[in-house]
Amino acid sequence: MTSLPRSRSLPLWSKGSIVLGIILALLAAFLTRTLAQRGDWSDGALAVALAATLLAGITLLIGIARALAGRRSGWTLLQTALLIILLQAVAVASYVGAPSLHATQAQNAMRQGRWSEAVGEFTLSGERPPNAPGIARAYLAWGESLLAQKQYAGAVEKFIPVITTYAGSGRALVSKAHDDLYQTYSQWIRSDARKVNYGGKGGALETFQAHLSDAACDSTCQTQMAATLALAYYQYGQQLMASHQYADAITQFETVGAKYASSAYASQAHAAAAQAYYAYGQQQIAQQACSGAVASYRALVAHYGDTPEAASAKTALAAPQPVSGTFSGLPANPAPTVALSAQVNVSGYVFSDDYMAKPEASGAFTFASVAQGDYNLSTKRDANNAVSYTYYHDAKGNVYTVHVGPLCPVRLGTIAYKS
């Protein structure tokens, strides 16, 4: 009977080399994914799981090959099986533990001040708004770091998400964000009040009002907050003025006068409100919103009569305005004259002819400066040593009346000439 050849056991140093090679291969897989390919720790763990699975497969194939070659001693087969099991255990552990590494890496990033990375890793770990305490803590620490560097706008951007998007992350975190936001705006408004973000959700005005309403704000605090709010409303109005949002600017300036009349900014807000009203009226005139412009100027005159802008508005409200239009079918020889008359006696063909204009060949005419009031439009034409008058009616048959009001020019459009 022929006996099978016995498998020769590998030397101890060779086995040690194999184990070391496997460890180095797994380490290389991790470092390649995390460093060379810029993956995170979880990606590295998945790379280790894949590498361990491949090495287990290779080990199995080598074991099968050795067995077919007759080298199947019990001890060799046991060693091979143990190595495969160990590699598979590493693969399973790496795969199962990969997600938890996101939170571990996030904590490590927090300790090293890599806030953006921390937020990303907490997100990958499964945190979702509104309950995401890890993300909220990262934003808080990020904002506090920026506040310490006096980067106020950036700090505000980090505190607001904790109050809004991640408000379910715990009362303590949200309360801390409110406090930090108040401290940020308090320092920012003293440092550069012109650049503070005042309006909207999480703006300085909302934050200061919330602090004023807090039960912990005593009488001294409320006095200080009144001065701070007066400044905030005034500066917000100035910001809105600079961006031509005059109506909103007026609201801010008038709030100072209404709520903080004894503040140092009340007189400045009064003057600024007059400027805003005047600029708003000019804007409305440019947009041909005449009735709105008249309302703005009248409010300016009524409530800010002690300002230069009110004097200018009063003059503008009373100023004459141009009147223009075009006659179609206008005869050329001789061309008629166009008139505006405040007094008209139709039966006697008597017209006061307060304003006269010679039309162009196209029929266009303009009265450059007409006092405010109501006028009849008429034409007169010399023909055969006589003067022919024509007066005009509206669609209802009434005498055509031209109303000249304040601030805006009158454009009559196209009118059919009647001989």
CATH of the domain at 335: 2.60.40.1120
Residue at 272 is within a domain: yes
Given this model, what pLDDT does residue 333 score? 80
**419 in Cβ contact with 376 (< 8 Å):** no
Residue at 88 is within a domain: yes
Domain boundary among the residues 111, 133, 158 is at: 111
Domain boundary among the residues 318, 346, 369 is at: 318
Residue at 193 is within a domain: no
Q: Are residues 31 and 103 in the same domain?
A: yes
Residue at 271 is within a domain: yes
From the list 158, 163, 150, the residue with the least C-alpha distance to 115 is 158
- Residue at token pair 């934050």: 207
Q: Are residues 335 and 411 in the same domain?
A: yes
The amino acid at 255: T
Partners of 404 in the β-ladder:
373
Residue at 164 is within a domain: no
Q: 401: domain range?
A: 321-416
Q: Within the chain, which residues score under 50 in pLDDT?
A: 1-7
Q: Total structural domains in the chain?
A: 3
Q: Are residues 280 and 366 in the same domain?
A: no
Domain boundary among the residues 85, 111, 137 is at: 111
As a whole number of angstroms, the distance between CA 217 and CA 179 comes to 13
Q: Are residues 340 and 308 in the same domain?
A: no
Residue at 386 is within a domain: yes
Q: Are residues 303 and 362 in the same domain?
A: no
- Give 199's DSSP letter: S
Residue at 32 is within a domain: yes
Q: Are residues 336 and 404 in the same domain?
A: yes
Q: In what order do the strands lie in the sheet with 321-328?
A: 364-370, 321-328, 410-416
Residue at 127 is within a domain: no
Residues contacting residue 208 through CB under 8 Å, at least 6 positions apart: 182, 185, 225, 228, 229, 232
